[in-house]
Amino acid sequence: MNSLVTKIEDKTALVGVAGLGYVGLSLGVEFAKGGYQVLGVDISQERINQLLRGKSYILDVKSKDVSHLVQSGRLKVSCSYDLLRDADTISICVPTPLRKTKDPDTSHIRLAVAEIKRIFHIPLLIILESTTYPGTTRELVINEIETLGYKVGKDFYVAFSPERVDPSNPTFNTKNIPKVIGGATKRCTEISRKLYGKVIEKVVVLNSTEEAEMIKLLENTFRSVNIALVNEMAQMCDRMGINIWNVIEGAKTKPFGFMPFYPGPGIGGHCIPHDPMYLSWKAKTYDFYNRFIELATDINGNMPHFMVKKLSRILNERKKPLNGSKILILGIAYKKDTDDIRESPGLEIYRLLKKEKCSIEYNDPYVRTFKEGGGTIHSKKVSAQMLKKYDCVVVSTGHTHYDYPFIAKHATLIFDTRNAFKGIKSKNIVKL
């Protein structure tokens, strides 16, 4: 341990990162900028090629930083885990999707651990960052490595540190978001704290890997449940003829006991749609059924259907059937000012409207194309003439890039699901 700690302290430790997506690339770049040599591995040859050309495919990571770090040798990347053969630390940042049955798919973690076992050496620090259910670190990392005959906390060190990436957040990033660490042993926790403390402003220590794993699930279950509450309130207010946005604005003037959440066409990204289901799945193995999670998932998952039904009603009031209507979707990403379309409700609305035989196009300044139905769908340019040809413009993502007064002036009808047209008055704007 002492030699590993010394390397971390003097920044001669080789920092490995497995998985160079939103989490891994951001983390690797932060370590490289902090003075460490970083070895990054990703199974996507396309990603590796872009990085070798000095190009970033993550909006929050600047291409100029990637280019400088690659050219200086601070960041080395490859598709092969052989690159990590000499790494002193390895942070696993691979995806953890859900299967269609809503069970966690840990195959990417298993693959990463299998590759690490192949190149394993002591001492080695392994930190799992992939979001998953409590117990994963012990089951899939510690137990697997110990089959080689080594002892955790003595020969190698393992911790869990939940990723907290928030794409396109202008205030909080990898460096200034507090980093939670939970080690398999006290020594594991301490050495992990020393590593992350070198490049991240604040490190928060917990008592176990299970506590650290549960933190991420609690954070996103909290968000999922509260978003579901306000989404259900939005549906109720719609039926009562009450403006939910004005209700929220009024409620949030209370200086205590209330935290504003906002309705929308659904939830997206990797975290909120998936993370609570990891917890729900694991809880069932203890004969515990989390009704809040199941209910929230149902409400949030059905919001795109509610949006399409309301759009049909809006058009019907204007003597226009949904079938055959020309619809423009503004924003296909799951949140504003990002290119992330994972689990995006905008995509679900697109598919639902296609089933209704609508003529659908979209505009998104961050998502130039996306794959759908075996083809490539391209973003359309917004113009005054173009806006007039649509029966309705549906705001799915409220990008700050949009010129809302211009759109309000030229669009025939607008269905605003994000309150993006706040403060703009027009009889042609219908709010969620």
| Beta strand extents in 210-312 (DSSP E only) | none
Structure tokens belonging to residue 403: 């010129």
81-107 core/surface letters (b: 16 or more CB in 10 A; e: else): bebbeebbbbbbbbbbebeeeeebbbe
Q: How many CB atoms lie within 10 A of CB 63?
A: 15
Bridge partners (DSSP) of residue 372 are: 375
Tokens, residue 204? 């928060």
Strand (E) or helix (H) holding 410: helix 404-410
3 state DSSP class of 431: strand
Assess contact for 40 and 80: CB atoms under 8 A: no
3-state secondary structure of 85: coil
Angle at 312 between CA 309 and CA 318, to 5 degrees: 150
Q: Are 360 and 350 within 8 A, CB to CB?
A: yes
Q: Which residues are catalytically annotated?
A: 271
The whole-angstrom separation of Cα 137 and Cα 77 is 25
With b meaning 16 or more CB within 10 Å and e meaning fewer, what string describes 197-221?
A: ebbbeebebbebbbebbbbbbebbb
Say how far residue 103 (Cα) sits from the centre of its chain.
18
* CA–CA distance, 330 with 312 (Å, rounded to integer): 17
**Cα separation, 25 vs 28, whole angstroms:** 5
* Nearest CA among 180, 269, 262, 272 for reference residue 221: 272
The tokens describing 110, both together, are 């298993």
CA atoms within 13 A on the CB side of 201: 7
